[in-house]
Amino acid sequence: MAGAIALGRAGKTVNASEDRRAILDREGVKMHKVLPEDHAGWPAVKPLEQVMRIIAEHKGCGTHGGSGKASCGSAAGQGDLAPEIWEKVKNHPCYSEEAHHHYARMHVAVAPACNIQCNYCNRKYDCANESRPGVVSEKLTPEQAAKKVLAVASTIPQMTVLGIAGPGDPLANPAKTFKTFELVAEAAPDIKLCLSTNGLALPDHVDTIKNFNVDHVTITINMIDPEVGAEIYPWVFWKHKRYTGKEAAKILTDRQMQGLEMLTERGILCKVNSVMIPGINDQHLVEVNRAVKSRGAFLHNIMPLISAPEHGTVFGLNGQRGPTAQELKALQDSCEGEMNMMRHCRQCRADAVGLLGEDRSAEFTTDKMMAMEVDYDLETRQAYQQQVERERQAKTAAKSAELASLAGTMSDLKILVAAATKGGGRINEHFGHAKEFQIYELSTAGAKFVGHRRVDLYCQGGYGEEDSLKTIIRAINDCTAVFVAKIGGCPRDSLLGAGIEPVDAYAQEFIEQSAIAYFKDYLAKVESGAITPAARGDADIRQGAFVAG
């Protein structure tokens, strides 16, 4: 495709025969027509010519570059952010806690190679029954990935973000990564581009990232002290040589800090992921938090170590435990004084599709894609997303109105509650059908999202599974109540016996509005002496292999 291609990002057009070609040549990517009909037997995207005309008319989302240095956090709303930052995060489910209730993302598995080894990672390329980073059901070529993006975006109109996160490292596979971005940017410029990297190769590719209008980059940074890093990373492969021990960790942390600074200087929003490993880096992550904030990171996401033995990782096999729910929350709380935290991360597979907390990747396998006829209708997507925004605004207004009723109330009490939801920020899931519960901290300041707990399904073919019920109770053991759309008598009694109140009075209502209303009644009961607040215990973070269902 010769001439100017409208990318729709930053309001710019790029001359395909000059700037883009030079960039791609540097990355080892060959330019050719987008999505050729005869590529590997894949069916043509129809009607491609019509799609391209629509793209030329609409020119995408029109986001603009910003400083990227505001430590505004994932809970920030439109009034809390500079306009150019708001445009970047308003419909990005990973960078906005509010958006994750409404918008979906997808990852494409085009980057199998990795340039470091982590003791918590074991990449699997044909695995359908585990939900964790580094795992995929099938690897894709860039052309297959671009077709999949169009198919998913046509089926799930609220899908707004394409991320490349593995199953290895995107920047250890630069040709495949940037070829994928090229194809998607040409065919679907309204979709935000995003990548997640360990940072070792990042400084070498920052300008390419910028030129491709990738305005969200996540870096996994688990340490800034090589002594700590040596316990996490057995080796790194850099400049055609393998390094081990503290030397490897020193190279990695220097490159990560350099890359982070280079990205924020160019106005690219940076999220930092850190894996909390008790006894190794848990206390050290406070120092990591300060270091990344000082270098302009937008958001810090501290995640629990996944270390089940069945995953086959070094930490899983040597018995390294992950944190409890309260250990994780305490660390996140302590770091929040320095910068705001992401607490809604689901530690997604490298081929995840759908809302955070769900995985629809099984609907879009290669075989199914070959049989699909895709009509990428940008106008329909935009109309659907406008409806999503109206729902989102209604949710925000309802929360604000309920919060106003708490104005002037004085209390130091804080409690946690769990909510069963299918999405949309509503209490709309049956207790027995919930695969996870969202956790909110309630106080006179309102309802604050603080995490989620993945659980086993209680209802199995119409029958309740008692072993699953026990694990569910352990997962929300630190909660005073659980909000559900509906619940049966047996689990209701078991929850009450564990000191957790099942609440179905707010079925189909907004979670935060309902939680604030519940807390207002709770405070009134405390004041009257009807109930006496009791300290709750700790809770488990699920470690087992999760079946995407």
Once rounded to an integer, what is the mean pLDDT over residues 521-533? 94
Which tokens belong to 180? Answer: 């994928």
Give 431's DSSP letter: G
**What pLDDT score was predicted for residue 258?**
98
Handedness of CA 26, 29, 31, 33 (dihedral sign): negative
Pick the range with the lowest mean pLDDT from 139-143, 327-331, 455-459: 455-459
pLDDT at 109 over 50: yes
DSSP string, 80-114: GS-HHHHHHHTT-TTT-TTGGGT-EEEE---B---
Hey, what are 514's tokens? Answer: 């309902």
Please tell me whether the peptide bond between 167 and the residue prior to it is cis, using omega within 30 degrees of 0: yes
Q: pTM of this prediction?
A: 0.77
| CB-CB contact of 478 with 536 (8 Å) | yes
Distances (CA, A) of 156 to 108, 280, 369, 385: 15, 41, 14, 10
- Using alpha carbons, select from 147, 142, 143, 186 the residue that is nearest to residue 164: 142
How many angstroms from the chain centroid is the CA of residue 7? 24
Cβ neighbours of 31 (radius 10 Å): 15
Each residue of 6-19: pLDDT tens digit?
333 333 333 433 44
Name the more confident of 393 and 280: 280
Q: Please report which confidence band the pLDDT of residue 85 belongs to, taking 50, 70 and 90 as the band edges.
A: confident
DSSP 8-state assignment for residue 460: E
Q: Phi and psi of 520, rounded to 5°?
A: -60, -45
What is the percent of the chain with per-residue pLDDT over 70, rounded to a whole number? 80
Report the pLDDT averaged over residues 159-168: 89
Average pLDDT of the residues of the chain = 81
- Mean predicted confidence (pLDDT) in 232-236: 97
* Domains of the chain, each with CATH number or no CATH: 4-365 (3.20.20.70), 405-528 (3.30.420.130)
DSSP 158-217: TEEEEEE--BS-GGGSHHHHHHHHHHHHHH-TTSEEEEEE-SSSGGGTHHHHHHTT--EE
Determine the average pLDDT of the residues in 389-396: 86
Q: With cut-offs at 50, 70 and 90, classify the pLDDT of residue 489.
A: very high
